[in-house]
Amino acid sequence: MRSYPPLRAATLTLTLPPSVDVPALQARIREVAARSQYGWGHTVDLGAFRVEGLLLDSYLSIAGGFDQFGWWPQRLDGLAVADVGCFTGGIALLAAQRGARIVHAVDEVSEHLDQCRLLIEALGETRVRPHLRSVYELSQDIPRRSLDIVVLSGVLYHLSDMLVGLHVLRELLKPGGTLLIESNGVDDPTHSYANFGRFYAGMWWQPTGLCIADMCEYTGYEQVRVEFYQPDRCIARAVATDRPIPFRRGMNLAFDTLRDGSVRTLDPAVMAPAPLIDER
């Protein structure tokens, strides 16, 4: 059985300004957490006190995995970053602490984004900009080709249309910009498919590692790499290009032309269907 070495957690050191009324802030955190269906999201140490969250501090291990593989720089000075699916904002705050010029903290769930807004306000962090948007709407807030790094952590499998989501993010990244993904998945490097999630943990899909790589490549990324750190969790890196995507028919986006950019094969064997399960 394959072993999965643990990811080395990144470090996030947050300090509240002396003017903050700590008991009042703790009360606000409890109130905001109570409004969320699943409570507070990320475990965050604010120095004066620690807030425990549903997802614990897994975001630090995910960021540490990106560090471990050298997929983003240790310092982000001057860079424009988006934390898409930010929840409480752990990765957004980490990116700001590492010097990012601007960090777009995005979530489509207002109760989640309220947690991020609360921390931004309490910490006096002016570089993190919250956006209540779905992935598909982000071009309304973020200019095309303006981002250096997009972090899509725990989001890909929640998208009903993963291909459109990846394409939208590619359009926001500068050519050569980096998409960093954390996702559930199937550690199958030879078959490209996505299980229907049956709403487990609110997810739509459970893609194989090869499926994630294929989707990135077909939506305009290169240098795609996928690494599993648990049997059912992986991180991935993809670099944005400005080349047209080869196939556009059936996608829920408007294109100037639907002509194929490369010849389609008619050989069904290219799909490498998922292996049958032996139920004996």
Specify the pLDDT at position 280.
Answer: 46
Q: Which residues on neighbouring strands pair with residue 239, listed in sequence order? A: 178, 222
What's the DSSP call for residue 156?
G
d(CA 241, CA 25): 44
CB-based burial of residue 168 (10 Å sphere; 0-12 exposed, 13-18 middle, 19+ buried)? buried
What's the DSSP call for residue 18?
T
Specify the pLDDT at position 175.
Answer: 98
Identify the CA nearest to 67 among candidates 154, 151, 7, 13.
7
Cβ–Cβ < 8 Å for 49, 22: yes
Specify the pLDDT at position 266.
Answer: 85
Instruction: Count Cα atoms within 13 angstroms, Cβ side, for 256.
Output: 3
Cβ–Cβ < 8 Å for 230, 249: no
Domain ranges of the chain: 60-249
Specify the pLDDT at position 272.
Answer: 77
Per 3-state DSSP, what percentage of the chain is helix, strand, and coil (rounded to 5)?
30, 25, 45
Specify the pLDDT at position 44.
Answer: 98
The residue ranges of the chain whose pLDDT is under 70 are: 1, 277-280
d(CA 110, CA 35): 10
Specify the pLDDT at position 64.
Answer: 98
Report the CATH architecture of 60-249. 3-Layer(aba) Sandwich (3.40)
Element (H, E) at 25: helix 22-35
Specify the pLDDT at position 267.
Answer: 87
Specify the pLDDT at position 141.
Answer: 96
Specify the pLDDT at position 265.
Answer: 86
